[in-house]
């Protein structure tokens, strides 16, 4: 459970894939095997603080100069699984999405054009040598994308109430085979009900991403720092995955009324977060 400190990086949520060591080629496999034996491992807050440190200098460093050799580590049914940070790759990808989140004058103030253009050139050169690169972690801010909830079940929900020294935790963990099965079933139900839409597009995208990983991987949906943006008591009562599952099941039965009611519960639950985002 992450520690509450004077520097809390809020409002980011994560979709992570933990792969077994056997999925990695040598010598990377040996590196992660040694890494997993370490007595302690950094947290997601540690990862984000390191990234923010690069934004302090003038000009800022939006993408690390070197790729991270850190990872998150889990033991799944006796098998060590790791989720590499790949901070540099994710930094490049996040940089490409900034234009969708900020008006150009604001973006120029945050990251000068010369800095962004250099990062784009660096990424293009890097991709020529790493055409199949993909991140093990997806990040969203101020939300949990609805298509992420399709991957998990309410029975897999883990809620840990916060204390004076530790932040609350809300996450889901599911086997890769289950996540892929739910994507396929969800897509069938949605495509039978509607021709197209952002939920279908998002689910197709995340489904393709999951296919890149070992079938014995573990998928984790983590509310991360978003727990700090939700009202008191909201986390404990949050069963968004159950609402999404109910809505998809209703669509499969052709019950538009029940599907609409499930969607309305989701909208109402996340209204306070949207309002807070707008206020910022």
Sketch the domain layout of the chain as residue ranges: 12-279
78-106 residue pLDDT tens? 999 999 999 899 988 888 777 677 778 88
Write down the pLDDT at residue 10.
62
The owner of tokens 């739910």 is 182
94-150 residue pLDDT tens? 887 776 777 788 888 878 888 888 888 988 998 898 888 899 999 998 899 999 999
Write down the pLDDT at residue 32.
97
What is the SS3 assignment for 146-194?
HHHHCCCCHHHEEEECCCCCECCEEEEEEEHHHHHHHHHHHHHHHHHHC
Asked if residues 163 and 3 have their Cβ atoms less than 8 Å apart, the reply is: no
Write down the pLDDT at residue 52.
63
36-69 residue pLDDT tens? 999 888 887 777 777 666 655 666 777 888 889 9
Q: Percent of the chain, pLDDT > 70?
A: 91
Please determine, for residue 208, whether its predicted confidence score (pLDDT) is greater than 50.
yes
246-271 residue pLDDT tens? 999 999 999 999 999 999 999 998 88
Neighbours of 40 (CB within 10 A): 5
Residues 6 or more apart in contact with residue 11 via CB below 8 angstroms: 141, 142, 225, 226, 228, 229, 277
Write down the pLDDT at residue 280.
59
């Amino acid at each position: 459970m992450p520690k509450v400190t004077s520097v809390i990086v809020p409002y980011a949520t994560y979709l992570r894939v933990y792969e077994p060591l056997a999925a990695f080629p040598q010598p990377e496999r040996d590196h992660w095997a040694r890494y997993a034996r370490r007595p302690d491992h950094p947290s997601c807050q540690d990862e984000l603080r390191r990234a923010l440190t690069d934004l302090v200098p003038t000009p800022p460093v939006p993408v690390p100069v070197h790729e991270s050799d850190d990872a998150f580590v889990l033991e799944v049914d006796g098998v060590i699984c790791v989720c590499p940070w790949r901070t540099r790759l994710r930094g490049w990808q996040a940089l490409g999405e900034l234009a969708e989140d900020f008006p150009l004058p604001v973006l120029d103030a945050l990251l000068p054009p010369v800095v962004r253009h250099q990062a784009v050139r660096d990424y293009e050169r890097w991709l020529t040598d790493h055409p199949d690169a993909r991140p093990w972690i997806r990040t969203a801010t101020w939300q949990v994308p609805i298509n992420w909830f399709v991957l998990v079940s309410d029975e897999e929900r883990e809620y840990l109430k916060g204390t004076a020294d530790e932040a609350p935790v809300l996450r889901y963990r599911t086997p890769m085979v289950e996540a892929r099965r739910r994507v396929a079933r969800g897509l069938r139900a949605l495509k039978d009900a509607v021709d197209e839409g952002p939920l279908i597009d998002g689910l197709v995208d995340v489904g393709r991403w999951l296919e890149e990983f070992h079938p014995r991987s573990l998928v984790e949906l983590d509310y991360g720092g978003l727990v700090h943006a939700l009202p008191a008591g909201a986390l404990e009562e949050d069963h968004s995955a159950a609402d999404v599952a109910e809505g998809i099941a209703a669509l499969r039965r052709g019950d538009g009324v029940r599907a609409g009611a499930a969607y309305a519960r989701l909208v109402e639950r996340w209204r306070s977060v949207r309002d807070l985002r707008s206020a910022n």
